[in-house]
Structure 1
């Protein structure tokens, strides 16, 4: 869950299922940053801290990396990641929180607490009405903790049941994602009347569906839909090189639809190809 206080927001994630799992290789905090309230906003430095009880660090070799929390003397904090973001842009943001999850696993802590704070890069230029940096906690785009272990990503060659699209299988022993942000099919209602296409007699509207969602690492490993081998390799390379974009979430199967519409002085019934999405994947 998340709790906002002034220029900081706190997130707590339940990681009890990870305590007895394999060694953690990497962990990420993913949060969706909403658009700012003004057309022009100043950049902010956004920092992520691990918050842990001071007593829980006793005897740990990691204690030297933590400082006493100035707002709560019973806890200690450690800077995990820091980025400069502009509040006027809305997009997903990823922070490296590997050290926090690794330590929580080592100390057998069932929850990991993260604090995200933001400060303006140029305080003088910040407008009084600026809302700063805000992260949504809605059901559609909730913050998530993505963790994957030392076990390597599944290789396409390891799949004995590859279909004609050469898909990479879902392996829930490797990735733990608390939010369903992967590429998937969602509703998209088409209303011909609202488009001004009044020559179409029937149907007056239909659900064409659409494909939307994340196709980058590590999400593609945990997604329920299929991905091509090429998309898998592109996602791997994209995680290492920022110049390489993520694969695209797009339809993998569509079906036809029949329309009745005005044609000259009469009517015409015609079947149009690839009108309705049946399934989605990363390509």
Structure 2
């Protein structure tokens, strides 16, 4: 993301034979291979660090198209673009229903037993969990002016030997005339599942229709969790959109080569990371370009060492290199990714874009 004055491989002198073909020395080839090797090593280390921060042991091998549910996309867009939106936790995961182990209907009542497989990394703590049910109205039934009414209760299912018990977790009265998502707080139950080490657990959803029938329930569970090592303060500004500071940025008039922040669009597909990163498909990471001329202005936030180095370079260029134009402040972005089929939104994924450039 930073730049310095360096010799490019294209600047290496090449000799030409009488036929006009370029000749490359053995030393040049060795240097080029060494540079390629170092580049591959750097990219490999960067990918490992990226995966480690996302709690991924390796790149997911599932190449099928990922279709996150609409409310998860809305959640991502909210935290990525709404500066006033501050989530309670920096990681949000969604676990879909693994199986509907039992479903029964008796008059106006219906029961649905939903199986979930909830796994949480050991260093993370569940702070809030919701069971989200999508109610799909039957359009063939004429609705009343007051909408459709139903009571929905969520029970936690426990197995003790041959005995099955159900404990009420949450419930609500639902009245509406349109399809909608209904959310139920199941934090205590999920925390108990995680603490006991149970991966496969069940909820039983009981629907009692008050007037007209609800045709279908689509069930998904989403919970928020907090990484124990995170110290992010989300009361500060959102850096997904960083304005270019114009009134504080001093430049020599007509000199566009001075150190500055410029656009650098990154497409995850181009670097092979679209296999697990769902959104954004691309973003502006920015980069620092230009030269750190003498004298350095305060806007470049030079260190004392940089000032001394620049002065020595100005007096004797052979004695010291010119200071480099590099990122001095990085900012986070919001990413949505999948890990083993689990869709995850990370609100503050740090150090993903350049916020400010300076001379160092």
Q: TM-score if structure 2 supplies the norm length?
A: 0.30
Name which one, 1 or 2, has greater alpha-carbon Rg: 2
Q: TM-score if structure 1 supplies the norm length?
A: 0.37
Larger RCO (CA under 8 A, 6+ residues apart)? 2
